[in-house]
Each structure stands twice: as structure tokens, then as C-alpha cells.
Chain A
């Protein structure tokens, strides 16, 4: 076939892709936002390495090529956990590359991001050049060995595509529907092409699987090709599986399509069904094609059997289809990889340098948007130039699959830091940096350097490679595995060791603690992410706005700020200062454009406070601990306060009660005073108004006036007494007191009155009665009061009073009873209250007015005695008890 026809075919195919891409750029969510498109775009994993290399590998190494697909397949069940978490984090933090991801997780560490970016570039550029090599080789095979290599034309076109659809928008985090749709179409094309050629080989070149295998059985060492024979192969298999699993999720292009470009999280579920089926189909015919090709063309380059077989058989159209299939596998990989790598290259290498050289100012003049896009495109070109250069100058004779493997192992070095960061909060950036660098160092010296040295040797002459090759072989022999497996084991062991050891022994920065928590617990935080505060202090809204203007343009700035304002109910005009939430939001918007670390630096230019440092975090923690403590104390205090209030309330009630009593008392005293005064006044007036009054009548009035005056005096002195007792001002002069003699004295003093009223009195006092410890005058007062009450209230015609006294336990008891009308039970309890009889009542109680009993009660209680009244044998009996003298003395 003429080489120009081949190139025309390739160009037409590419133009078709341009069309698909343009079409879906303009109908954004309809085509590309679909689970199937997502699943098919993930199949960018199947590159020319799959398309051509698998057959080559199968033809020489048997079915161990399958490991590259079994690894990813084993991860499928975990996608809903792991891939979804990656997607969520990527979406939440507006991450646009795996370098962003790792840098962001480890405190937005710019150096770590740069290391990851460079690792990816170094690891993947050979892989891109591998695709170029595949394209170039396939064109050469198609055009029957033309010496002219047109692959630069293809490279140019693919670069154009990547620039157009991969760096279309300044926001690298924004999805690229054109690119993704094109990739999905390419995935279909390569699958169909491969299956068609498989079917043709099996059913047209041979007559079915049986025919093919029986023929192969005779001609080839089939056992070697369809089984894992040697011991080391199992190890190779295992480690290839592992590395492939990592690669499937972490290769820049895989991360691009799997995480950055993911639409809905539910698409992962679709992918979990579609991807295994796709991988099964594309591998179904690998062995048959390899066998058939080997049988037909035993001397051909096994890597291109799939293409040379139909050519050899004269199926030109089929060969063209195969060529397009391989071409699509290669171009899709190149397009996505360059897009992904260029984002990293520009965000971690070019833009930091550009931003550093442009002294950043908050002005409307700078338009960083164009600058950013320019550098993003420069990055794409740079990547392509590097890949093309590598392809031209360094690609040697190693097979497609080995270059792929080198790439995989480089990317696998990111796995500990990546997955560790996703699930282990304690991991820190030092550990991640050390792990990645150590792993890459081993990878470089064991895998890259020997090959590179060989190339250099072949160009310059010399044998610089020999020593390193020997060393690597020696290590492999020692470990009884291939050098590839040895590299995987050693690099990952050292990597993981550094990562775990340093994470355990060194501390995280404050920013890192924050990010680590957000990453690991993303499902808990992604909803309320806006409230996570990584900035303290405020910024001026115009500064934030002009900052965004410069990177994303006026329209988008307005759009994102409007969206934020709507969601959070903020009126930008109301307050020119914005808080940390808005600053964080602006930072995240910028993260999508220039990556997390540059975004942080940019935002720090307009924020007026330092970003939060470890000390601040500790301060905040300390503060909140103090607040908790204060809260506790406050709660305690308020409980105490509530209690105090309660006490105060009851004290108040008590006071109110006392106040009422006092008022009542005053009222009663004045009431009691009114009666004698009434008599005194009335009688005095009568004497004055009736000068002719009889002498007898007059002296009766006068003596009654004197009597009433005395009554008043008594009342007043009682009131004063009571006041003294109640206020505690009354002092007792206590001494040993013989109650018997005191009672006898009082009885004889009353004798006259008793005779007058014809009252009989019996006094029976035990002769062994003990002395009491008491104030004789006060006890005399009590006795006097009780005896006069008894006289006053005993039966008026046949009065009888009985006084008894005796020792009762440690006290002396005195009873004074009379045969008066008695007291109602209900009144017994309150009879000792002052003015009991008049309280709220309109009827006088039989017991006399008075303060007498109240005073008695006070006196006895001051002596630590008791006083009471009861109905005893139909008599009213007042009794009191006083402590014996000896008790007190003791």
C-alpha cells in the first residue's frame, strides 16, 4: 500500500475524531456524560502495547501478557470504594492531575507536586514514544518497508488535537467532553478492529479454533506459550498484576479519564460491568492471532503479527482496519497522556516560574488567562517533542511491552503515597517525598539506566552499561526473579518502608493535618466542605474578584461568584470584606486552573493574614479546650446560680412570710392596744362629762382606768420581751435552779387570787426532783404566765388547778393543768403562736390574748427545753421540760 494512502487514512481517521470531539464539545452533557462513555474512556488503558504488543508477547512469552489485564480486573470490585473516593476528592478539591492530588493531600506541598509531575513525565514519555514507535512501525509495515517515516506528521496532528481539546479551557479541572468522546470512540474502533482480525485469522486463515490449535500444537512449543512453566514466572506474574493494578488507576492518562473527567459517581458502577467485558473481548483473540501469525510468518517481528498477518494473506482492507485500530489505540493514549502530563508540566514547572517572574499584583491589567493557556499549550508541545525525541534517539530494540512495563513501575512508585494518603491520616509529605524518590531511584538504576547506557554506548561506543547490567542481573539472580520483578520488589519495599517509617517518626504540618483529614474522611466532609477553614483572616472582595478575573476571565468569575453567593445567600455588595470560606472557595477555583500549591500562593497575596500555622492550630485547639473548660464551669455556675435563685426565692417567700407575720403582729399589737385605750378614754370622758357622778362609780372608773393602763403596760413589755427573745438579744443568766421552791413561791403569790375565785389548787412535787440549769427570773415568768392562764381559764365556779413536777429521764418535767372548758384539738398546735387568737379571725379563742404563751415558748426553747399543751384526763394540761443541771455541768 502506498505510504501516502496510509497517511491519508490516518489523517482522515484523525479528522473523524476532530469531528466527534467538536460535536460533543457543543452538546456537552448528552453524549460524554454517560456511564458507557466513562467506561470506554477508561479503556485508554489498552494502547498500542495491547493492540500489537500483547500478540508479540504471547508469541514469545506465552500467556503472561494477561497479567497486565488481570491486575486491573482484580481491582474492579473495589472501585466503588476506592475509585469513587478518588473521584470525590478530585471533584471536591478541583484536582486536575495526580500531581495535584498528591500535593494537595500532603498540605499542598509544591515540591512534592513537582516531584510527582516530573516522575510522571519521566515515566510516561518513553511510553508515549512507544506509541509513536508503534504508529511509525505500523505505517512502515503498511507501506511495505518505505524508508520515509511520516510519523512526525501524525505527531503534529495529534499535538494539534491535544491542544484543541485537551488545553481548550484554562480550567484544567473542567471536563473535556470532546477529548473524552473521541477516546471512547477510539476504544470502540480498536476493539472492533482487533476482534475482526481475530475472527478472520481463526475462521478464514484457519478453519476455527480447533484447526488453529492442532496445527500450532505440531509446529510450536504450545505448552510454553499457553502455560506458566518456569518458577520465576509466577513471581513475574504476580508483580506484573500488582503494578498493572496501580497503573490502571494512577497512570496520568488513567487518572485523567478515571478521576478528573469522571461525570457522575454512578458511572463507576457502569464501568465495573463494562470494563471486564471489554478486557475479556480484546484479549480473546490474542493467543489465536499470535499462534496463527507465528505459523504463517515465523520470522516476522512478533509485535506486528496482527498487522502483517492480514497483509500476508492479502486482506488489504482488513490490514487497513487493523492499522486504524492500532492507530486509534496509540493516538488515544498520546492525546490523553499529553493532556495529563502537560497540565502537570505547566502547573508545576512553567506556571510557578512564570508567576515568580511576574511580580504578582492585584490589577485589572494582567491577563493570566492567556498566559496560562499559552503555557499549557507549550507544555503539550514540549511533551510531544520530548516523546518524539526519545522515540527518534533512544528507542532501541527492546519490545513494546518492556517499555510499557518500565512506565508502569515508575507510576507504581506513587501508589504508597497515593493510597496511603487516601486512607491513612498520619502520613506526611516528608514520608511521601522520601518514598517516591527512593522508589524512583531504584527504578532508574535498575531499569532505565542499563537500557539508556546501552543506547549511549551504541551511539558513542564504550561499555558503560556493562557494570550496571551485571549488577542488576546479579540482584535478579540472587532474588531468583527477573530483573523486572526484582525492581518492583526492591523499589516498592524501600518506598513503602521510607513512607511508613517517616510518617511514624516525623510530624505533619498544620495544613497537612487539615488536608489529611479532609482526604481520608472525604465522604463525611465533601458536603460541608465550604465550612472547613484553612485560612484565617479576611480579604477584600475586589481583590478576590480581580484575582479570579485574571485567571478565569470576567465572565466565569462573575458566574462562579454568583453561584457561590446564591448558594450561601451572600450579598457581595453588602460587605467589601469576605471571610475565610470565600477565600477557600476562591482558592479551590484557582486550584482547578493552576494547581493547589500555586493557587495557595496566589490567594495568600490577597489575604491579609498569614495562613494558619501549626502554632495557630494548637492555639485554636487550646482555645477550644479552654472554651470547653469554661463551658463546663459556666454550666456549673449556672447550676449554682439556679440553686441560689431557688434558695433566694424560698428565702424571699420566707421573708415575705415573716414580713406578713410582722405586719400581722403589728396590726395585732395595735388592735390589742385599742381595747384598753377604748376603756380608758371612755371612762375618762365619762368622769369629765359627769361631774355629778357618784363617788363610788367614779372610783370604780378610775381603778378600771388604772387596770387598763396596766394591761397596756403588760402588753407593751411583753411585746418588747418577745422582740428581745426573737432577735436573740435576751441573755439568759443560767444557774442551778430548784424548781420546787420556785413553784412554791409562785403558788403562794397566787394564793389570794385563788381564794378570791374559789379555785382549788393541788401541788405535788417529787422531793427528789433535780435542779435544772436555768435563768430563775425567766422561768418564774413562765410559771407565772401558765398559772395565771390556768386561773383565768379554769372552771369559773368549781375551779381546780393541779401542778406536778418530776424527773423524766435527763430532764425535769412540770405539768400545770386546769379543769377549764378545754381547747379544740385543731387549736392545740398553734396555741403558742403570738396573738394566735386574733389571726384572721373574728372570734376570740378561749385562751387569752396574748403574747404570754409565745414568750413562754421562747424562754423554754432558749433553755433547750420543750413546752406543750394537751388534753389530759379532760383537763387542759400545759407542761414543760428543762434539762437537769448536772447534765449541763458535764
Chain B
């Protein structure tokens, strides 16, 4: 069974890249272009992985992370932040909210894939 990944980002080109990358690696991909879309999707789906941007027009990534981590239904969903916010405080905040990984932009797709796979294999 294919692993499910939810990509949350408002930058079309990043979404496009991630979508291609994850599909190519046998993930079932869901896409949210902003926070509220993401929450909507999450109410129905239980993704194995959430690739989460922080800076978005409506609901920001931290909030989504918090909600995910508080939702028992989503307890197995791994949250990976992909953010341009690179301050130590931003990263710490991400981990405090329960993120499994925090990757700063710009990132390498190769390393991202490696880290994500590792994360999901550990879990299973």
C-alpha cells in the first residue's frame, strides 16, 4: 500500500517539485495550497507524512502541526517542516510543537527524500 503524503505550501513551484518528487518515489500525494485546505484534507485523510510550510496566508504551519499532534487519529502522521524560516528560535519552536523533522529551504530533494524515508522506516 502506498504511503500517503500531504504537501502544504503556497508556492506553486515548490508544490510542483515536491509533488513530482514524491510521486516518483511511490507516494500517494495530496496537495494543500494553504493552511485551511490542509486542515480540510486532514479531517478526512490520515497521511503518513506531512510536508509543511510555515509561512502561509491563513493558517500557518505551526498551528497545523499543533493540531496534528493533538489529534489522536493523526498520531502516526510524521510532520516535516519545510521552511525558509531559518532562525534557531523558529526551528526550536517547530520541534517543541512536535515536528519530527525541520528542514530549511532551500533544501536538496535528494537529502529530503533520504531523511523522509528514514523517518518513515523507523516508524514502521
Contact = CB atoms under 8 A, between A and B. Distances in A.
Contacts of B118: none
Contacts of A844: 10, 55-57
Contacts of A5: none
Contact of A842 (B16, B24, B54, B108): B54
Nearest to B58: A843
Given A838-B55, A844-B57, A678 B110 contact: no
Nearest to A707: B13
Nearest to B104: A674
Contact of B85 (A671, A677, A683): A671
Contact of B55 (A678, A680, A689, A842): A842
A825 interface: no
A846 B105 contact: no
Interface string B1-38: 00000000011011011101100100000000000000
B84 interface: yes
A686 B11 contact: no
B102 interface: no
A846 to B, nearest CB: 6
A707 B17 CA distance: 14
Summarize A's interface: helix, strand, loop or mixed. helix
Nearest to B17: A682
A683 B13 contact: yes
B31 to A, nearest CB: 15
Interface string A686-724: 100110000001001100100110000000000000000
Contacts of B105: 674-675, 677-678
Contacts of A838: 55
Contacts of B21: 682, 686
A838 B84 CA distance: 11
Contact of B109 (A670, A672, A682, A846): A682
A674 B57 CA distance: 18
B76 interface: no
B106 interface: yes
Interface in A833-855: 838, 841-846
Contacts of B13: 679, 683, 704, 707-708
Interface residues of B, number: 30
A756 interface: no
Nearest to B10: A844
A675 B105 CA distance: 7
B61 interface: yes
A842 B61 CA distance: 8
A679 B14 contact: yes
B56 A843 contact: yes
Contacts of A690: 20, 24
A685 interface: yes
A563 interface: no
B109 A689 contact: yes
- B10, B17, B61: most-surrounded residue (chain A CB, <10 A): B17
A171 B107 CA distance: 106
A842 B110 CA distance: 27
Contacts of B106: 674, 677-678, 680-682
A680 B14 CA distance: 9
- B18, B56, B57: most-surrounded residue (chain A CB, <10 A): B57
B20 A697 contact: yes
A556 to B, nearest CB: 84
A679 B108 CA distance: 10
Contacts of A672: 84
Contact of B84 (A678, A680, A700, A843): A678
Contacts of A704: 13, 16
Given A685-B108, A689-B109, A697-B20, A679 B57 contact: no
Interface residues of A, number: 30
B14 A678 contact: yes
Nearest to A671: B84
Contacts of B11: 675, 678-679
- B13, B20, B57, B87: most-surrounded residue (chain A CB, <10 A): B13
B29 to A, nearest CB: 14
B100 to A, nearest CB: 19
Nearest to B24: A690
Contacts of A708: 13
Contact of B14 (A675, A689, A843, A846): A675
Interface string A475-490: 0000000000000000
Interface string B65-102: 00000000000000000001111000000000000000
Contacts of A701: 16-17
A843 B17 contact: no
A667 B106 CA distance: 15
Nearest to B85: A671
A686 B24 CA distance: 10
A683 B17 CA distance: 6
A704 B15 CA distance: 12
A586 to B, nearest CB: 78
A842 B17 CA distance: 23
A679 B123 CA distance: 29
B60 A842 contact: yes
Contacts of A681: 106-109
Contacts of B104: 674
Contacts of B110: 685, 689
Nearest to A711: B13
A850 B106 CA distance: 19
A682 B18 contact: yes
A674 B53 CA distance: 13
Nearest to B61: A842
Nearest to B90: A842
B60 A686 contact: no
Contacts of B107: 678, 681-682
Nearest to B15: A679
A685 B84 CA distance: 19
Contacts of A670: 86
Contacts of B108: 681, 685
A425 B17 CA distance: 105
A846 B57 CA distance: 7
Contacts of A678: 11, 14, 84, 105-107
B14 A682 contact: yes
Contacts of B55: 838, 841-844
A842 B16 CA distance: 22
A576 to B, nearest CB: 70
B16 A674 contact: no
B13 to A, nearest CB: 4
B20 A843 contact: no
Nearest to B82: A678
Contacts of B16: 683, 700-701, 704
Contacts of A671: 84-86
Nearest to B56: A844
A670 B104 CA distance: 12
Given A678-B107, A685-B109, A843 B24 contact: no
Interface in A744-784: none
A508 to B, nearest CB: 82
Contacts of B24: 686, 690
A843 B61 CA distance: 9
Contacts of B62: 842
Contacts of A677: 105-106
A84 B25 CA distance: 118
A74 to B, nearest CB: 98
A700 B13 CA distance: 10
Interface in A252-296: none
16 contacts: A667-B87, A674-B104, A674-B106, A675-B11, A679-B11, A680-B106, A681-B109, A682-B18, A682-B106, A701-B17, A704-B13, A707-B13, A708-B13, A842-B61, A842-B85, A844-B55
Of all A-B residue pairs in the complex, the 8 with the closest CB atoms, nearest first, are A682-B17, A679-B13, A842-B60, A674-B84, A678-B106, A678-B105, A677-B106, A844-B57
Given A678-B106, A681-B107, 11 more contacts: A674-B86, A675-B11, A677-B105, A678-B105, A679-B13, A680-B106, A682-B21, A689-B109, A689-B110, A842-B60, A843-B57
